[in-house]
Amino acid sequence: MTPVTPVGPVERQQWDVIVVGAGGAGLRAAIEARQRGARTAVICKSLFGKAHTVMAEGGIAASMANANPHDTWQIHFRDTMRGGKFLNQWRMAELHAREAPDRVWELETWGALFDRTPDGRISQRNFGGHEYPRLAHVGDRTGLELIRTLQQKIVSLQQEDFRTTGDYESGLKVFQECTVTRVLKDAFGRVAGVFCYDRESGRFFVLQAPAVVLATGGIGKSFKVTSNSWEYTGDGHALALLAGAPLVNMEFVQFHPTGMVWPPSVKGILVTESVRGDGGVLRNSEGRRFMFDYVPEVFKEKYAQSEEEGDRWYEDPDDNRRPPELLPRDEVARAINAEVKAGRGSPHGGVFLDVSTRMPADVIRRRLPSMYHQFKELADVDITAEPMEVGPTCHYVMGGVHVDSETAATDGVPGLFAAGEVAGGMHGSNRLGGNSLSDLLVFGRRAGLHAAEYAAGAAAAEVGEEAVAAARAEALAPFDGESFGDAAENPYTLHQELQQTMNDLVGIIRRESEMAEALERIAELRERARRVSVEGHRQFNPGWHLALDLRNMLLVSECVARAALERTESRGGHTREDRPAMDRAWRPVNLLCRAADGGGIELERVRTEPIRDDLLALFEKEELAKYLADEELES
Amino acid sequence: MATGTEPPSAATGVRSAGRASLAARHLRTDRWWLAPAVTAAGLLAFVAYSTWRAFANADYYAAPYVSPFYSPCLAENCVPMRGGPNWELFGSWWTLSPALLILVFPLGFRLTCYYYRKAYYRGFWASPPACAVAEPHRSYSGETRLPLILQNIHRYFFYLALPVAGVLTYDTVLTFRDEHYAWGHAGLGTLIFLVNIVLIWAYTVSCHSCRHVVGGRLRHFSKHPVRYRLWTWVGRLNRRHMLLAWSSLISVAVCDLYVYLLATGAFDDPRFF
Amino acid sequence: MSTYDARFRIWRGDADGGGLTDYTVEVHDGEVVLDIVHRLQATQAPDLAVRWNCKAGKCGSCSAEINGRPRLLCMTRMSVFARDETVTITPMRAFPVIRDLVTDVSFNYAKAREIPAFVPPAGLAPGEYRMKQEDVDRSQEFRKCIECFLCQNTCHVVRDHEENKPVFAGPRFLMRIAELDMHPLDAAEESGLDRRRTAQDDHGLGYCNITKCCTEVCPEGIAITDNALIPMKERVVDRRYDPVVWLGNRIRRRNGA
A428-A429-A432-A437 Cα dihedral, nearest 10 degrees:
60
Helix H or strand E encompassing A374: helix A369-379
Distance CA C214, CA C43 (A): 35
User: How close is the nearest chain C Cα to the Cα of B188, in Å?
Assistant: 37
Q: Are A398 and A424 in contact (CB under 8 A)?
A: yes
Average pLDDT of chain A, as a whole number: 93
Residue of C95, C211, C232, C239 to mutate, testing the B interface (most B Cβ within 10 Å of its Cβ): C211
**Range of A275's domain?**
261-394
Q: Cβ separation of C135 and B149 shorter than 8 Å?
A: no
Taking CB atoms and an 8 Å cutoff, what residues of chain C touch A265?
Answer: 28, 30-32, 35
The domains located in chain C, with CATH, are 3-103 (3.10.20.30), 106-247 (1.10.1060.10)
CB contact under 8 A, C160 and B13: yes
Question: Can you tell me the distance from the alpha carbon of C131 to that of C140, in angstroms, rounded to the nearest whole number?
Answer: 12
Is C187 in the B-facing interface, judged by CB distances under 8 Å? no
Confidence of residue A437 (pLDDT cuts 50, 70, 90): very high
Provide the pLDDT confidence category of residue A315 given band limits of 50, 70 and 90: confident
Query: Mean pLDDT, to the nearest integer, of C81-100?
Result: 96
pLDDT of residue A72: 97
Answer whether C97 sits within 8 Å of B219, measured CB to CB: no
Q: How many domains does chain A have?
A: 3
Nearest to C53 among A50, A153, A537 (CB): A50
The mean pLDDT of C172-190, rounded to a whole number, is 97
Asked if A196 and A323 sit in the same domain, the reply is no
Among C91, C96, C160, the residue with its CB nearest the CB of B140 is C160
Q: Is the peptide bond before A6 cis (omega within 30 degrees of 0)?
A: no
Tell me how far apart the alpha carbons of residues A397 and A428 are, in angstroms, rounded to a whole number. 10
The half-sphere exposure of B248 on its side-chain side, counting CA atoms within 13 A, is 25
> How confident is the model over C94-117, as a mean pLDDT?
96
Enumerate neighbours of A (3 or more CB pairs within 8 A): C
pLDDT tier, A442 (very low <50, low <70, confident <90, very high otherwise): very high
Helix orientation angle between B241-263 and B188-205, rounded to the nearest 10 degrees: 150
* Residues 6+ positions from B52 with CB-CB distance below 8 Å: none
**Which residues of A are marked as active site?**
256, 276
Verify that A322 and A186 share a domain, yes or no: no
Tell me the sheet residues that pair with A589.
A607
d(CA A348, CA A387): 13
CA dist list (Å): A587 to A173, A571, A583, B115, C95: 43, 9, 7, 67, 56
- A349 shares its domain with A444: no
Q: What pLDDT does B5 receive? A: 41
Tell me: do A132 and A207 sit in the same domain: yes
Relative to beta strand A400-401, strand A247-248 is antiparallel
Residues of chain C contacting residue A46, judged by C-beta atoms under 8 Å apart: 53, 59, 61
The answer to whether C126 contacts chain B (CB < 8 Å) is no
CB–CB contact C234 B208 (8 Å): yes
> What span, in angstroms and rounded, lies between the C-alpha atoms of C110 and C42?
34
Closest CA to C48 of A540, A336, A385, B104: A540
Question: Does the pLDDT at position B1 exceed 60?
Answer: no
Q: Using the predicted structure, report yes or no on whether residue A97 has a pLDDT greater than 90.
A: yes
Among A52-61, A422-431, C46-55, C238-247, the range with the most confident prediction by mean pLDDT is: A422-431
Residues 123-152, chain B, touching C (beta carbon < 8 A): 127-128, 131-135, 137, 139-144, 148-149, 152
H-helix or E-strand spanning residue C175: helix C171-181
d(CA A335, CA A282): 10
Q: Is residue B244 part of a domain?
A: yes
User: pLDDT band at B2, cuts 50/70/90?
Assistant: very low
Work out the average pLDDT over A375-397.
Answer: 91
pLDDT beyond 90 at C248: no
B270 assigned to some structural domain: no
How close is the nearest chain B Cα to the Cα of C1, in Å? 28
Encode pLDDT of A218-250 as tens digits: 999 999 999 998 899 999 999 999 999 999 999
- Determine the Cα–Cα distance for residues A238 and A224; give it in Å rounded to an integer: 19
Q: For chain B, how many structural domains are there in total? A: 1
Q: Percentage of residues in chain B with pLDDT exceeding 90?
A: 82
For residue C77, the chain A residues in CB contact (below 8 A) are 377-378, 380
Q: Would residue A247 count as lying in a domain?
A: yes
Q: Which is nearest to A498 in space by CA: A429, A546, A568, A430?
A: A546
Rounded to an integer, the average pLDDT of A401-421 is 97
Shared domain check, A536 and A454:
no
Are residues A47 and A189 located together in one domain of the fold? yes
- CA dist A300 and A303 (Å) reads 6
CB C113 to CB A537 under 8 A?
no
Q: Kindly provide the ipTM of the predicted complex, given to two decimals.
A: 0.94
Q: What is the pLDDT of residue C256?
A: 54
CA A106 to chain C, closest CA, distance in angstroms equals 5
CB contact under 8 Å between C133 and A115, yes or no, is yes
- Residue A604 pairs in a beta bridge with A592
A172 and A238 both lie in a single domain: yes
- The reply to whether B139 falls in a domain is no
Mutation target among B6, B26, B28, B29 for the C interface, most CBs of C within 10 A: B29
d(CA A235, CA A229) in angstroms, rounded, equals: 13
Nearest Cβ partner of A105 from C28, C118, C126? Answer: C126
Same domain, A442 and A546: no
Amino acid at A326: L
Is residue A127's pLDDT more than 90? no
User: Domain boundary at A394, A415, A445, which?
Assistant: A394
- Helix axis angle, A142-165 to C106-114, nearest 10°: 70
* Whether the Cβ atoms of residue C53 and residue A50 lie closer than 8 Å to each other: yes
Residue B70: pLDDT over 70 = yes
User: If you average pLDDT over residues A168-182, what whole number do you get?
Assistant: 97
Helix, strand and coil content of chain C, in percent to the nearest 5, comes to 40, 20, 40
Average pLDDT, chain C: 93
Residue B26 lies in a domain: no
- CATH number, domain of A162, equals 3.50.50.60
From A113, A119, A535, residue closest to C143, measured CB to CB? A113
- Assess if residue B6 is contained within a domain: no
Phi–psi pair at B228, nearest 5 degrees = -60, -45
Does some domain include residue A514?
A: yes
CA distance A15 to chain C (A): 22
- Give pLDDT tens digits for A190-211: 999 999 999 989 999 999 999 9
The answer on pLDDT for A106 being more than 70 is yes
Say how many C-beta atoms besides its own lie within 10 A of residue A98's C-beta: 16
So what's the pLDDT on residue C257? 44
User: Residue A536's pLDDT band (boundaries 50, 70, 90)?
Assistant: confident
Mean pLDDT, range B102-117, rounded to an integer: 96
CATH of the domain at A513: 1.20.58.100
- Tell me if B14 and C182 make a contact (CB, 8 A cut-off): no
Determine, yes or no, domain membership for B14. no
Cis preceding-peptide flag for A491 (omega within 30 of 0): no
Would you say residue A1 lies in a domain? Answer: no
> Does residue A633 fall inside a structural domain?
no
B239 touching C (Cβ < 8 Å) = yes
A199 plus A284 within the same structural domain: no
Q: A609-628: per-residue pLDDT in tens?
A: 999 999 999 999 999 999 99
User: Which has more confidence, C172 or A278?
Assistant: C172
Shortest CA gap B1–chain C (Å): 15
- Domain assignment present for B16: no
Distance linking the first and last C-alpha atoms of chain C: 80
**How does pLDDT run across C125-179, given as a tens digit for each residue?**
999 999 999 999 999 999 999 999 999 999 999 999 999 999 999 999 999 999 9
Residue B200 belongs to domain spanning: 31-132+151-263
Query: Is residue A471 domain-resident?
Result: no
Would you give the DSSP letter of residue C226?
A: I
The pLDDT of residue C19 is above 90 = yes
Look up the pTM and report it: 0.93
Of residues C219, C67, C5, the one with CA closest to residue A378:
C219
Confidence of residue B8 (pLDDT cuts 50, 70, 90): very low
B31 touches chain C (CB under 8 A): no
For helices B154-174 and B188-205, angle between their N-to-C axes, nearest 10 degrees: 160
Taking only the tens place, the pLDDT of each residue in B21-49 is 999 999 999 999 999 999 999 999 999 99
Give yes or no: residues A273 and A403 share one domain.
Answer: no
- pLDDT band per the 50, 70, 90 thresholds, residue A7: low
Cα–Cα distances in angstroms (integers) from residue A247 to residues A250, A534, A541, B52, in the given order: 7, 30, 30, 84
Contacts of C59 in chain A (CB under 8 A): 46, 50-51, 54-55, 229
User: Is residue B93 a part of any domain in this protein?
Assistant: yes
Put residue A259 in one of left, alpha, beta given phi > 0 → left and psi -120 to 50 → alpha: beta
pLDDT of residue C245: 67
Q: Quick one: A283 and A402 in the same domain?
A: no
Q: What is the pLDDT of residue A112?
A: 98
